[in-house]
Structure 1
Amino acid sequence: MAIAEFTIIPIGTATTSLSGYVADLHKELERHSDVRFQMTPMGTILEGPLDRLFEVIRAVHEVPFLNGAARVSTSIKIDDRRDKPDASMEQKMQSVAAKLS
């Protein structure tokens, strides 16, 4: 299982506010119920099979274009750990929490 963090930035919009675009991205992510996601103030984290994550990110990348953006910049970070079958968002956070205790 892979974890990917991505940020999508629409460029060439009529306003500096991006919350409408973010809401549309969220709606698209909800359509992909086979992949877990967590939105943060600065991006989105996905969890699932790597090939599927690429498909979902590609679909979400298209959303700003469909809503009038002339240009879109997407940054992606991937953590693809294959030595642990239980690598997940929660497992990563629990590992850090255990070390803080």
Structure 2
Amino acid sequence: MSVQPKARRIVLIAEFSIHPIGAGTSVGQYVKAAVRAMSEIPGLTLDVTPMSSVLEAENIGTILEAVEVSHRILRSMGAKRISSSLRIDERLDKHRKMSDKTKGLKRSTNARPYQAAIQRKRSRVARRKLRPPFS
């Protein structure tokens, strides 16, 4: 009985953002609807950040389905023009998930990446407040 080598799973990680144009400055209702629709796609892992969503899937079709569903939802909500941006990272030599990519950063900073950036900004602001004016 020969043992077949285990097939390596390929994971694609994508950064996706979508914006209805002409909908005003508050687009939260559109984004919520798109995220809700994407979260129902089987095989898609979704992480929502302040500026975009990070998508993870085992095939590119699932990623593209998320883009298509998002556009369809915004059109159904009355958007006359939609702008979206998609960046895809497909690593073929190593099985890496989006959580793996942030683990090293979290270990080295002892904080979540976003939290670390906020903390650095707060430190700079605090130092500025300590300086006397016009010195």
Query: TM-score interval w.r.t. the shorter chain?
Result: 0.7 to 0.9
CA RMSD of aligned residues (A): 1.6
Structure 2 letter corresponding to 1:34: G
Query: Aligned equivalents of 2:101 and 2:55: distance in 1?
Result: 13
Deviation at 1:5, TM superposition (A): 0.4
In structure 2, how many angstroms separate the alpha carbons of the residues matched to 1:61 and 1:6? 12
1:72 matched to 2:78? The reply is no
Give 1 or 2 for the bigger CA radius of gyration: 2
Take 1:63 and 1:37, find their aligned partners in 2: how far apart are those partners? 17
Paired residues, number? 99
Structure 1 segments (4+ residues) deviating >2 Å: 95-101
Distance 1:59 1:33 in 2: 13
SS of the equivalent of 1:69 reads: coil
Unaligned ranges ≥5, structure 1: none
More contact order relative to length (CA 8 Å, sep ≥ 6): 1
Deviations 1:30-77 (A, max 9, x none): 211321001111010100022211122111122111101100001011
Unaligned runs of 5+ in 2: 1-10, 111-135
How far apart are the structure 2 equivalents of 1:39 and 1:100? 21
From 65, 72, 85, the counterpart of 1:62: 72
Q: What is the TM-score with the length of structure 1 in the denominator? A: 0.87
Shift of 1:96: 3.0
Q: Tell me the percent identity.
A: 31
Letter in 2 for 1:92: K
Which residue does 1:93 correspond to in 2?
A: 102
CA distance in 2, matches of 1:16, 1:97: 33
Q: Structure 1 or 2: larger strand share?
A: 1
